[in-house]
Amino acid sequence: MTDPDTGRVEAFDAVDVIRAKRDGGAVPEDALRWMIDAYTREYVSDAQMAAFAMAVLLNGMTRDEIRVMTDAMIASGERMSFEGLGKPTADKHSTGGVGDKITLPLAPLVASFGVAVPQLSGRGLGHTGGTLDKLESIPGWRAALTNDELFAQLRDVGAVICAAGTGLAPADKRLYALRDVTGTVEAIPLIASSIMSKKIAEGTGALVLDVKFGSGAFMRDVERARELARTMVELGTDSGVATTALLTDMNTPLGLAIGNANEVRESVEVLAGGGPADVVELTVALAREMLALAGQPEADVEEALRDGRAMDTWRAMIRAQDGDPDAPLPAPRETHTVTAPSSGVVTRLDALAFGIGAWRLGAGRARAQDPVVHAAGIDLHAKPGDEVTAGQPLFTLLADDGARFARALEAVEGAWEIGPDAPTPAPIVRERITG
């Protein structure tokens, strides 16, 4: 085939690649690399790539196919390297959840041990919050850094949380948007290659994946979450990045804060040696994984939270990006507290429902271009296993516009329960997956 615009003779035909996957076969490596490159160049149309993505959803891909596709997506853009830093690098990726502010305390905690943490993060969409949205609650803080600024901050401070540049895996940006409107978001090979192409291109030496399952997670089913985790660990391993994954429970919101400013406040509590037990537990577990992969398996991460090292790094990280760590965070104009109708034990708080409730209060966005209300969200006053008495506050809705309370209350109706007996405690980290 010849591209009529450039006169370039194309090595393959997109229809042949689509048919191969449609019929359950494996696509040859050179044909698959061509497909990704030609789509990036806009020679392969959205309609053709949508057909290919649906074929992948229905028929899957082999480990080698996923590796090749991921590598082709990396090759569509720039690849960063941190070899000149003179210290190991480690990163973390979470598949997202409700109240998941773990990146905020985790990055400075790991960096306090001399490991550079280049955390390229994103914004929220729907019921899952975005790390950058949370940090933009801090007056003056900016997400956009040049590569030179990023390198300098990693060298001088050790931790960076910032927006990813447009040069990393541009093929993924096109394919991600296409999957969203063609019913192919759930294809595990496409999810894995999307996440890992950016993380591998980022240039980190070690990567820990927090793959969540449950009502508030992208993957509700634990088996599919495990499959995704294994696929991503294989991709990292095959690409020479030391990679492990933790399978973590997202049936209940993490911590007591769901939103933006309130999640920053809770993260600072963790860095000060306090904070909710579940947030501390997961932060410590992920820090241990990252430090072990970076060559420090015996690091005492709890001590770094107690003695102020992690907090010092947090404050330096915020200042380096023009934020004021001492400035007051945004406060809501309106609040509405829901109290316990009876005495007993909280047995359930559904993560998805509370995530949607916070979203409806303004903490999230329905479209990528929508703004978020940094003061909006939900503060929980009790979690499953806690005893409550009739009339005791259960949770408080936070908003700048009281008219939002009605729809938020609709979202959480029936999403919490009080019973006579405490539920059986379940660990947050259910499984560790290695290469």
- The catalytic residues are 93, 172, 179, 194, 198
Say if CB 8 and CB 2 are below 8 A apart. Answer: yes
* Residue-wise DSSP of 10-50: PSS-HHHHHHHHHTTPPPPHHHHHHHHHHHHTT-S-HHHHH
Q: What is the largest CA-CA distance in the chain?
A: 76
Burial annotation 245-274 (CB, 10 A radius, 16+ → b, else e): bbbbbbbbbbbbbbbbbbbbbbbbbbbebe
* Residue-wise DSSP of 330-387: P--SEEEEEE-SS-EEEEEE-HHHHHHHHIIIIIS-SSTT----TT-EEEES--TT-E
Token pair 């949205």: residue: 133
* Residue-wise DSSP of 383-406: -TT-EE-TT-EEEEEEES-GGGHH
Q: Which helix (H) or strand (E) holds 155?
A: helix 147-156
Q: Phi/psi at 116 (nearest 5 deg)?
A: -75, 135
C-alpha dihedral (362, 366, 370, 371), degrees to nearest 10: 20
Say if CB 202 and CB 163 are below 8 A apart. Answer: no
